[in-house]
């Protein structure tokens, strides 16, 4: 397992020096943030991230994310230009030594929550999703004031309505076709540079606002991997995204796809499933619905050797900053992940 940590670049309040002091830390997970989705990243920006990371004694080998332009997901004729740009980004990142690229194929909205600072019983705050609050929002009505935290703020209300409207004719089947088209273009380029493409599951793993969402569970992941049957077409196993639905047996999925050699990156975090949604909790198994040790055992026993990062943390100890991405609780998560992997590895060695 290669322990990694997400870093939002020079703007991030969490510094590389702090990240480096987390025991076992190896890789930085980052991206070029000053370029709109779909455009080519400059070699200078990539190089700057690489040298800052390496000067701090860490490795620059995981990107999260290279965003997929909406025109690619919508299958518009203009997608050709964006696909070419995507491939060019893969080439440039490959030249800089990147080994793994995380991305998602969610229409319009990336992860969706209804509150980013919900107080938990212990005085910490975390991100939550309550269905009744989502149901009150209709992005097709631009006159409504309701928005959800985490929405891409570069959209105006009208811009958001327009892009949501474009999806009204996109069925799940059509979205699958567009995903296949994307993979058929990018996977050969990734293979040439030996970069693993690692798709992130839809978060949450169900349709929202009537938009199609297709990367949601086992059947869908099987289909995705078979669309282009190449190990470079793989997964970011996001435990929280899959685990917020009881239909997904995350330890089983971890074991299955690790055995197939198709998990390249793991986001480890715990969630508490509720009748009306879910709450993000501390990483520890007993704090939520997921058996984190069973997930890690599933990975270790099936030869997983990819990147792992603690995922969203709560805000604790008075820390303020980017919701989900403070230092303290993610560092606690990393320490816990180290412990789980050490135990699973020793348990496995003892069996041999
Ligand atoms: C949220 C993240 C996601 C993830 C993208 C990957 O905190 O897990 O935004 O980075 O979906 O493309």
111 lines ligand 1 (CB under 6 A): yes
Q: Is 113 close to ligand 1, i.e. is its CB under 6 Å away?
A: no
User: How many domains, in total, are found in the chain?
Assistant: 1
> pTM for the complete prediction?
0.96
Neighbours of 141 (CB within 10 A): 11
Minimum-distance ligand 1 atom for the alpha carbon of 240: 8
Q: 88, 39 in Cβ contact below 8 A? A: no
> Is 312 an annotated catalytic residue?
yes
pLDDT at 329: 98
Whether 267 sits among the annotated catalytic residues: the reply is yes
Catalytic position from the list 325, 328, 329, 336:
325
| pLDDT at residue 144 tops 70 | no
| 106 Cα nearest atom in ligand 1 | 11
Q: Whose CA is nearest to atom 1 of ligand 1?
A: 111
Predicted confidence (pLDDT) per residue in 4-37, tens digit:
999 999 999 999 999 999 999 999 999 999 999 9
Q: Residue 247 pLDDT more than 80?
A: yes
For ligand 1, whether the C-beta of 218 sits within 6 Å is no
DSSP 8-state symbol, 56:
T
CA-CA distance, 103 to 105, in Å (whole number)? 7
Ligand 1 atom nearest 104 alpha carbon: 12
Q: Which candidate in 167, 267, 307, 336 is catalytic?
A: 267
The alpha carbons of the chain give a radius of gyration, in whole angstroms, of 19
* Ligand 1 mean position, distance from CA 100 (Å): 14
Q: What mean pLDDT, rounded, does the chain reach?
A: 95
Q: Is the CB of 324 under 6 A from ligand 1?
A: yes
| 104 CB within 6 A, ligand 1 | yes
pLDDT at position 280? 97
Return the pLDDT at 29: 98
Q: Which ligand 1 atom is the nearest neighbour of the CA of 103?
A: 12
Q: Domain of 173: which CATH number?
A: 3.20.20.150
Q: Does the active-site annotation cover 239?
A: no
The two tokens of residue 298 are 């599933």
Instruction: Say if residue 142's pLDDT is above 90.
Output: no
Using a 6 Å cutoff on CB, does residue 249 contact ligand 1? no
- Whose Cα sits closest to atom 12 in ligand 1? 103
Distance in angstroms (rounded) separating the CA atoms of residues 332 and 15: 16
64 Cβ below 6 A of ligand 1: yes
3 state DSSP class of 206 = coil
Task: Give the residue, by CA position, lying nearest to ligand 1 atom 2.
Answer: 111
Q: How do 196-200 and 125-130 pair as beta strands?
A: unpaired
Which atom from ligand 1 is nearest to the alpha carbon of 200?
6
Question: Annotated catalytic, 293?
Answer: no
Query: What's the pLDDT tens digit per position in 33-54?
Result: 999 999 999 999 999 999 999 9
Q: Average pLDDT of 266-280? A: 97
- What is the DSSP pairing of strand 277-280 with strand 125-130? antiparallel
Specify the higher pLDDT residue, 338 or 137: 338
Residue 110 lies in domain: 2-351
């Amino acid at each position: 397992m290669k322990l990694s940590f997400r870093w939002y670049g020079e703007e991030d309040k969490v510094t590389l020096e702090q990240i480096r002091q987390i025991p076992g830390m190896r890789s930085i997970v980052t991206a070029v943030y000053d370029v709109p989705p779909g455009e080519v990243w400059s070699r200078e920006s990539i190089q700057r991230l690489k040298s800052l990371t390496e000067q701090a004694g860490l490795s620059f080998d995981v990107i999260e994310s290279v965003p997929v332009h909406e025109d690619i997901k919508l299958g518009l004729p203009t997608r050709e230009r964006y696909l070419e740009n995507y491939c060019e980004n893969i080439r440039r990142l490959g030249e800089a030594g990147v080994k793994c690229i995380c991305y998602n194929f969610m229409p319009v909205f990336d992860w969706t929550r209804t509150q980013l600072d919900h107080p938990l019983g212990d005085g910490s705050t975390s991100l939550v999703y309550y269905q009744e609050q989502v149901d009150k929002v209709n992005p097709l009505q631009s006159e409504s004031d309701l928005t959800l935290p985490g929405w891409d703020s570069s959209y105006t209300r009208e811009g958001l309505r327009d892009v949501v409207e474009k999806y009204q004719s996109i069925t799940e089947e059509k979205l699958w076709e567009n995903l296949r088209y994307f993979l058929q273009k990018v996977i050969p380029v990734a293979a040439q540079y030996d970069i693993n493409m690692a798709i992130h599951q839809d978060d949450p793993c169900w349709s929202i606002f009537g938009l199609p969402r297709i990367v949601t569970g086992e059947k869908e992941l099987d289909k995705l991997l078979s669309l282009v049957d190449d190990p470079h077409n793989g997964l970011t196993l996001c435990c929280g995204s899959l685990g917020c639905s009881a239909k997904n047996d995350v330890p089983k999925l971890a074991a299955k796809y690790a055995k197939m050699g198709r998990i390249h990156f793991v986001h480890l975090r715990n969630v508490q499933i509720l009748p009306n949604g879910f709450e993000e909790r501390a990483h520890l198994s007993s704090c939520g619905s997921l058996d984190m040790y069973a997930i890690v055992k599933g990975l270790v026993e099936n030869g997983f050797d990819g990147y792992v990062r603690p995922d969203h943390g709560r805000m604790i100890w008075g820390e303020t900053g980017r919701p989900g991405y403070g230092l303290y609780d993610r560092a606690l998560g990393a320490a816990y992940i180290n412990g789980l992997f050490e135990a699973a590895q020793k348990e496995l060695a003892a069996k041999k």
